[in-house]
């Protein structure tokens, strides 16, 4: 199953994929860093369904959304060939920082494999922090 997008409810987005052999260790258990990749995929899809793309922010505004902090709580091991759903939403935002939250679960059983958060700051191409431009407030649920 290739990743695909669905908007399941206002405020979040999901991607679906199947665990590939290359994403597992010798025991057939997903290597821990792959959960962060799936979080990124869901976060990127959330931006897309809200009308923005990362590459457009970089190209049009010369800005980047940099990861400042990551947390991931592993609850159960995902295994080779499991069908997974990674869900992302904005948990908290203000003009200087955005926190995305995630849930990764088995598509068929609903078992939660991992939950997590990433905190992001917007930076210019010189790496200096900047406030989020008002044109992106709707992306992050900020009031104008």
Residues forming the active site: 25
**Structure-token pair, residue 30:** 């997903």
d(CA 19, CA 34): 10
Query: Given 3-state DSSP classes, what are the helix, strand and coil percentages for the chain, each rounded to the nearest 5?
Result: 25, 45, 30
The CA angle 74-102-140, to the nearest 5 degrees, is: 155
């Amino acid at each position: 199953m290739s990743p695909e997008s669905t908007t399941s409810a206002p405020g979040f987005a999901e991607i679906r994929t199947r665990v590939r052999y290359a994403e597992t260790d010798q025991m057939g258990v997903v290597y821990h860093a792959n959960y962060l990749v799936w979080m990124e995929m869901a976060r990127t899809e959330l931006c897309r369904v809200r009308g923005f793309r990362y590459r457009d922010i970089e190209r049009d505004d010369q800005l980047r959304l940099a990861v400042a902090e990551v947390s991931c709580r592993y609850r159960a091991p995902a295994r080779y060939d499991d069908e997974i759903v990674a869900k992302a939403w904005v948990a908290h935002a203000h003009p200087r920082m955005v926190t995305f939250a995630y849930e990764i679960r088995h598509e068929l059983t609903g078992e939660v494999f991992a939950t997590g958060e990433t905190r992001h700051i917007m930076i210019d191409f010189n790496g200096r922090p900047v406030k989020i431009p008002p044109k992106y407030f709707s992306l992050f649920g900020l009031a104008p």
